[in-house]
Amino acid sequence: MNVGLEDVRLIADRTRAEFENGDVSEDEMIDSLIGYSWVRYAFTADYAPRSAIEQKLANGTLREVKGNLVPVPLFLANEEVFPRGYCNIASPVLAQRIQQANVLEGLSPTLIWGGYGEYGRAYSSFSKYQHTFVMLGRTSLSDKTIVDITADQFDSQAPPVYVGPLQNPWTDDPRFEDIDTGYGF
């Protein structure tokens, strides 16, 4: 898959740099989370009892944005230094930017909740870390191109921006949820 990969790489490099510099607005992050229905952060009121939601809204640990509920703060205390803990936030922003740039000739980026790194156990293999990244196209197993701007949170030898085939150490292991909602705006 060579469709727009140079442009995707430029978008990924720019997005990575903006996260490193703290230049990505919380509004853009929230819009991306909502746009991709990324329920780990943005969810509708159907997911919790109304009394619990009202309590969190009243005490300021939750806010309503465009009909969705978003935690306050958006990041947990241990997620202060990019890229550590940012894959769930950075991947939707990256996917939204790729989609808006229209460089994939009709294909939509997909958020994948998979894994990074593997370790073996008798008779089976498990991912060492749960991880979120962006997949471009889903036409066949041999054509899974991914973009990852946070893999180096797990491995200092990982490139800061990876654009290439889905291969070890990345996995979209079926034991992890595959979020394939397309672009939700």
Q: Is residue 53 part of a domain?
A: no
Quick check: is 183 in a domain?
no
Confirm whether pTM is higher than 0.85: no
Whether residue 151 lies inside any domain: the answer is: yes
Q: What domain range is 155 assigned to?
A: 5-35+78-171
**Cis ω for the linkage preceding 92 (within 30 of 0):** no
Task: Evaluate whether residue 70 is within a structural domain.
Answer: no
**CB distance 151 to 131 below 8 Å:** yes
- Whether residue 64 is contained in a domain is answered as no
Query: Which residues are CB-neighbours of 50 under 8 A, at least 6 positions away?
Result: none
Q: Tally the domains of the chain.
A: 1
From residue 101, alpha-carbon distances to 9, 25, 95, 108, 122 in Å are 12, 18, 10, 11, 45
Q: What is the pLDDT of residues 36-86, one digit of tens each?
A: 766 556 566 666 677 887 888 888 888 888 777 777 777 654 455 789 888
Identify the pLDDT of residue 155.
86
pLDDT at 134: 93
Which carries the bigger pLDDT value, residue 122 or residue 161?
161
Residue 154 lies in a domain: yes
Q: Which residues pair with 129 in a beta bridge?
A: 116
